Amino acid sequence: MSELNDCTDAFVGALAELAASDERVFAVTNDSLGAAKLAGFRKRFPDRLIQVGPAEKDMIGIAAALAKDGRLPFVCGESYFTARQLEQIHADLGCSQPNLKICRVGSDRAGGRRDAPRHSSDDPAWARVVDDLCVIVPADPLETEQAVRRIAAYDGPVYLSLSRRPVPIVHRFDYGFEIGRAAILRDGTDLTLISSGSRVSWTLGAAEALAGDGIEARVLNMSTIRPLDSVAIERAARETGAIITVEDYSVFGRLGGAVAQVVLHKHPVPVRLLDVPGALAPSGSAPWLLDCFGLTVSAIRNAALDLLEVTEKRRD
């Protein structure tokens, strides 16, 4: 894995390139111009950035109107504003399915030294329940850049969730992102680790640590939360016999629950969910918070060892 890079930088770079080649591309934002890093976009395309100020609820309606007029709007802002827009998301996206893209920054719990309400861990779960809304959580800047181009070509609403923390590149440079397809980053037959977003690199680290214990763990990057790659999940259940999901989000309504549903219906095996309990996070550094929530490399490794021990006992 390489040096740390920011997925937000990859997002705005790809968005600017799209805007340069496609006059339909607009950015709609609130007071998140700095957080979404859109200052450069505004300088290059001042007539195609719509700033609504603190009127977050208007962002979705404005973007839906732009989409209806044949534009390609990207709604950009911080994740914790999503709750203010749920009514508009359900009404404007769930009913009419406009071709707009919602791009959220800081969509995780361990956001560092921020007050509790700004630790956003539940907005992708909200997005999952909106009819026909595609939900994507890229693992690194390379995947983020490709995802932006894919969702621009995708006809329909998309929710793109980005961590604000720099992460290493976990994919090969010949990797090609596809909506609805999981990527096998490491193969193995002893168990499968499934993750998305900023936790993918840590999950790979845990798999490497497990290899030192003589355990070969498969690692799946499940960057598309909806539609879910149920084929990859079922194959992992059949071929490895146990699954752990790892995510920096709430225990309720996210990747872990979606994977568990597939396993239950397709091929039941032991499943363990590593995620954030349904509680407000304290203020602290990202490493400290991740340690508190049991989402570090060592915690993932220990959870895998424990699950394998339980699985072996059941077999005996």
CB atoms closer than 10 angstroms to residue 282:
12
How high is the pLDDT of residue 294? Answer: 64
Kindly tell me if the per-residue pLDDT of 24 is higher than 50.
Answer: yes
User: In what order do the strands lie in the sheet containing 49-51?
Assistant: 49-51, 25-29, 72-78, 101-105, 158-162, 134-136, 224-226
Q: 204 and 170 in contact (C-beta within 8 Å)?
A: yes
Core vs surface per residue 134-172: b (16+ CB within 10 A) or e: bbbbbbbbbbbbbbbebbbeeeebbbbbbbbbebbbbbe
Please list, in sequence order, all residues whose beta carbon lies within 8 angstroms of the beta carbon of residue 237, skipping any fewer than 6 positions away. Answer: 192, 243, 263, 266, 267, 268, 269
CA dist., res. 30 & res. 59, Å (int):
7
Which residues of 198-291 form beta strands (DSSP E)? 217-221, 224-226, 243-250, 271-276
Average pLDDT estimate for 297-314: 83
The DSSP symbol for 115 reads -
Average pLDDT estimate for 175-191: 97
CA dist., res. 121 & res. 159, Å (int):
14
CA dist., res. 189 & res. 183, Å (int):
16
Q: 281 and 117 in contact (C-beta within 8 Å)?
A: no
How high is the pLDDT of residue 110? Answer: 47
Q: 133 and 226 in contact (C-beta within 8 Å)?
A: yes
* Model pLDDT for residues 28-47, shown as the tens digit of each residue: 998 878 888 999 999 999 99
How high is the pLDDT of residue 289? Answer: 66
User: Which amino acid is present at 40?
Assistant: G
* Model pLDDT for residues 103-115, shown as the tens digit of each residue: 988 766 545 445 5
Q: How far is CA 105 from the centre of its chain?
A: 10
Among the listed ranges 104-113, 132-141, 232-241, which one has the minimum average pLDDT value? 104-113
User: Which amino acid is present at 292?
Assistant: C
Domains of the chain, each with CATH number or no CATH: 7-162 (3.40.50.970), 183-315 (3.40.50.920)
Among candidates 37, 75, 35, which has minimal Cα distance to 56?
A: 75
Q: 207 and 193 in contact (C-beta within 8 Å)?
A: yes
pLDDT band, residue 91 (cuts 50/70/90): confident
